[in-house]
Amino acid sequence: MNLANMTDYHHFPIYAIMVLFLGAFVVSVAGTKPSRNLKNPAGARAWIALCATGLSLFFLVMLIKPVMLKGEIIAYWMGSRAIAGGYAIGIALEVDALSLFFALLIATAVFVSAIYSIRYMVHDDCVPQYYVLYCLLAGGVLGLVLSGDIFNMFVMVEILTFAAVALTAFRTKVYGALEAAFKYLVVGCMGSTAILTGTIMLYAQYHTLNLAQLASLIPGTLNNATKLAFAFLYIGFSTKAFIVPFHPLAADAHGAAPASISVLISGVLTKSGIYGIIRLTYFLFQTMNLGSMQFMLVFIGSVSMFVCVTMALAQHDFKRLLAYHSISQIGYVLAAVGLSTSLGISAGLYHAMNHTLFKGLLFLAAGAVLHETGTTDLGKLGGLSKKMPHTTALFLIGAFSISGVPPFNGFASKWMIYQASYQKAVETNNIGFLAVTIIALVTSTLTLASFVKVSQSVFFGQLPREYENVKEVPFGMRLAMGILAVLCILTGIFPNTVTGALTQPAARAVADVGEYITAMGFKSNLPVPEVSFVQAGVWEPINWLLILCIALLALTIVAVAGKYDRVSENEGEQVDTKYQLFYGGEKNVYSQVGGGDLFWGFKHNWRHYFDFMHDLHSGIVNDYALWAVVALALAIVYMMIVL
């Protein structure tokens, strides 16, 4: 192979993957003896990992022009391609705008987190092993989204799962780390087994593992065995996205893992699950033209966004709160993608990108707080803005972004999701899609409320005496947070540029399955779809006034639905008049509001709901495994009935 051929961009996808695995190998053979440099005990190994992740990102950025802007699909066969009996044999990569979109998100998050890790991990033992696992995790996720072979996707799932489990347990002295890793291992392996089972069932019927060829063979032949395979694959990728009912795993894993790994679990692993679900529903089985499939994704997405945001409100740990918010935001993505409209897909992908940016920033801010104070307990923190002003400012950018405050990026993508769901309701005359708009609006409001609580608990209020000597985190950590903060601002200010260059090409790739099939050299009879991102003329002010009125009505219902009967509760008790002047006669206990519990009244009114959720989330791995089994059983029954 000559130099000109080696620099051909068609090789860049495999370069982007292999440089990460090569980085893991080089770090491992560099030895395990810590460096004498106390500021960087990993020595050159941290820089090796940084260079590997930077090169991977570079190779993928170089593909934006041919793939995103010119619409090319890169089909790359590793070794010679063979056809036996009409079926493809060999491992292939296939890079279209959709897979490149997710690959860019992954590579960006991995690179920024690597910058952060250099100083963040200085107090940890076994740092060289950390970077080996780090590169393996990154390579596994990137290999999954760029693969054109379903069995190779399973192999990458195995790599990323075990690397993520090991990194979750990396800080063994952290309370609950080993337990969280064990839960992740059990349910994660159940998900991987489901993916393998579905893959075997497809291969037994169609005698090929190539995604494009399977996409040309499966539609129109959905027998019971194929439906069963679909259910197994769907549940398998759902465990990687942590959507309901797999959301407790995310909270445990995020809370125990180092913040630099929480960024990857939230911004990278969840996207691999969403990517897998899109490939299954839109490409492999091509079922998104069915209302039943749209309902399933939209329903699960809506449940995930609402349940997890309420779970976040009840948290007293910074990272666990962020973990539940992460799955709530993934619910937005799944619901938008489930609308099966061009605008909905583009909006969902836009929010997936924004989620990677603002949630990565928030986890890095939480890591900075932990790095300097040694705790993420909201009840023990406060007033850190006086000691960590840069971290505070960067955190607020992330908080405004996730809460959908303009002009930050979360507002742009959420606004598109509101539009897409409302447009779907108008076009189909189905009020259920309008309910999605309302749920999304309510969830966004509760998200903002939650981050008001976090801001007050961590960065404002009174500074505890034990943190009077706290100082700002090192420059490298602030640099990583700054990169994500700048991206949160830019992607919010220039939404048309983002959609035109990234999300709309990816949405077109989702719609044009026939092009994906033919790019690999297989025959497709699918017509070229008409893809339009026009908003169908429904965006007049009167319509949005109607939506806002409905949202206010929904918020009113939320506020009063949990009202308790004070007469029956206070019957026979003496009235405490101490706070009548300021609190209208409420008992003393009702007026005790601290920074870490600003919404005590809301939780009190909704105490029956929160008690139910508390009992449901037992924290026992057997229960979570049972949830996985029940989810699989329900998926099988649903697929058998509706497909």
Instruction: Give me the mean pLDDT over the 176-200 stretch.
Output: 93
Phi, psi of 414, rounded to the nearest 5 degrees: -65, -40
pLDDT at position 182 over 80? yes
Residue 125: the pLDDT is 75
Task: For residue 7, give the 3-state DSSP assignment.
Answer: coil
Task: Encode 140-202 in three state secondary structure.
Answer: HHHHHHHECEHHHHHHHHHHHHHHHHHHHCCCCCCCCHHHHHHHHHHHHHHHHHHHHHHHHHH
Residue 327: the pLDDT is 94
CA distance 449 to 617: 23
pLDDT at position 590 over 90? no
Task: Tell me the helix, strand and coil percentages in the chain, rounded to 5.
Answer: 70, 5, 25
CB atoms within 10 A of CB 469: 8
Q: pLDDT band at 570, cuts 50/70/90?
A: very low
Phi, psi of 316, rounded to the nearest 5 degrees: -120, 5
Q: Percent of the chain beyond pLDDT 90? A: 61
Beta bridge partners of 147: 93
CB atoms within 10 A of CB 317: 17
> Residue 116: CB partners within 8 Å, gap ≥ 6?
259, 260, 263, 364, 367, 476, 477, 480, 481
pLDDT at position 572 over 70? no
Q: pLDDT band at 592, cuts 50/70/90?
A: very low
pLDDT at position 556 over 70? no
* pTM, entire model: 0.90
Q: Which residue has the tokens 């070794």?
A: 79
pLDDT at position 582 over 50? no
pLDDT at position 306 over 80? yes
403 DSSP assignment = T
CA nearest neighbour of 443 among 595, 603, 551? 551
Mean pLDDT rounded to a whole number for the chain: 86
Instruction: Give me the mean pLDDT over the 90-112 stretch.
Output: 94
Task: For residue 382, give the 3-state DSSP assignment.
Answer: coil
Instruction: Give me the mean pLDDT over the 554-570 stretch.
Output: 46
* pLDDT tens digits, one per residue of 609-640: 878 888 888 888 899 999 999 999 999 999 99
Q: pLDDT band at 262, cuts 50/70/90?
A: very high
> Residue 463: CB partners within 8 Å, gap ≥ 6?
382, 383, 384, 386, 387
CB atoms within 10 A of CB 599: 17
Task: For residue 87, give the 3-state DSSP assignment.
Answer: strand
Q: pLDDT band at 1, cuts 50/70/90?
A: low
The lowest-confidence range among 76-80, 178-182, 237-241, 257-261 is: 76-80
Instruction: Give me the mean pLDDT over the 7-18 stretch.
Output: 93
CA distance 391 to 472: 7
463 DSSP assignment = P
* pLDDT tens digits, one per residue of 503-530: 999 999 999 999 999 988 888 888 777 7
- State how beta strands 87-95 and 74-84 pair: antiparallel
* pLDDT tens digits, one per residue of 447-472: 988 898 898 889 987 888 899 999 99
pLDDT at position 536 over 60? no
Instruction: Give me the mean pLDDT over the 3-16 stretch.
Output: 86
> Residue 113: CB partners within 8 Å, gap ≥ 6?
260, 261, 263, 264, 360, 364, 480
Residue 578: the pLDDT is 43
CA distance 292 to 561: 30
Q: How many CA atoms lie within 13 A of 468 on its CB side?
A: 2
The H-assigned helical ranges of 207-286 are: 211-217, 224-241, 247-256, 259-264, 270-278
For the chain, how many residues are written? Answer: 643
* pLDDT tens digits, one per residue of 468-487: 999 999 999 999 999 999 99
Residue 589: the pLDDT is 44
CA distance 533 to 64: 21
Residue 606, H or E segment:
none
Distance of CA 578 to the CA centre of its chain: 48
Residue 117: the pLDDT is 94
Q: pLDDT band at 600, cuts 50/70/90?
A: low
